[in-house]
Amino acid sequence: MDQRLVRIVNVTRDEEGQAPSPRLTLLASGDETPIEEDLLVLLHEIERRLPCSWPVTIQLMGPRGGEGTSTVVEALARCCCQRLGMNVLLLRLSQEPRPLDGPRSSKISLELEDLDYLDSYVTELPREEGRYLELTLGSRAAAALRNSKRERERLVETLNPLSDVTWIDAPPALTTNDGLLMAPVAHGTVLVVEAEGTREPVGAAAVARIRQSGAPLLGVLFNKRRYYIPDVLYRML
């Protein structure tokens, strides 16, 4: 029995039933692993449904936790950087902050006053194919974002020009409001559920909360899907 990291994303369509035209050409080298193939397909599906041009901010969140959201968002961020040569920021809303000291690191803790010089920090980062920086929030920044929509908007407005894509790893939709507060200022949100693990009423409740927040919901991503027959047969269906 085969298990893959990411397999399918269900997305909403516009009123005419047509998705917006792609704005990014995803180039594959032909030597991708099965997981990388899935990530490239997933990126293309997400990109087709974005309401604006790049650079963009995209948030991923699960309903209750344990769906693998952090694993998926980091895999997407690494794929964008290493496979597509994009400059990438990954903002984690729910992890412990990392100190900003010593040599240039690809993982730092961010306070809002750091936004004034984050541009110079990013440009000095070592390059892989593209630049990659993982951010967590310091305690004061986290409190300010909870209390002020303008600060949330300012954060996205500052981060957006520094990369081709900013990924947000958000807390679950049904257990905290932190991710729901950030979702409306992102360009799109993807709900991550566990295939065969997340119950339909739980997923539906999470979708409802995201929509009630005013966030643009790009779709629902089924993670940890299992294959009970060889994958090649699924691709023929």
18-61 per-position pLDDT tens digit: 333 333 344 444 455 567 778 888 888 888 888 888 889 999 99
204-233 per-position pLDDT tens digit: 899 999 999 999 999 888 887 666 666 666
Q: How confident is the model at residue 210, as a pLDDT?
A: 93
Residue 82 and residue 132: Cα distance in Å, rounded? 9
Q: How confident is the model at residue 177, as a pLDDT?
A: 87
Going by C-alpha positions, the residue among 82, 84, 20 that lies closest to residue 46 is: 20
Residue 230 and residue 227: Cα distance in Å, rounded? 7
Residue 193 and residue 151: Cα distance in Å, rounded? 29
Cα distance between the two ends of the chain: 18
Residue-range domain boundaries for the chain: 2-10+20-236
Residue 216 and residue 46: Cα distance in Å, rounded? 12
Task: Quote the pTM value.
Answer: 0.78
Q: How confident is the model at residue 9, as a pLDDT?
A: 41
Does the pLDDT value for residue 120 go beyond 60?
yes
Beta-strand ranges (E) seen in the chain are: 2-3, 6-11, 56-61, 88-92, 107-110, 132-137, 165-169, 188-194, 217-223, 226-227
| Structural fold of domain 2-10+20-236 | Rossmann fold (3.40.50)
Does the pLDDT value for residue 87 go beyond 50?
yes
In angstroms, the Cα distances linking 50 to 14, 80, 88, 187, 215 are: 11, 16, 17, 7, 12
> How distant is the alpha carbon of residue 96 from its chain centre?
18
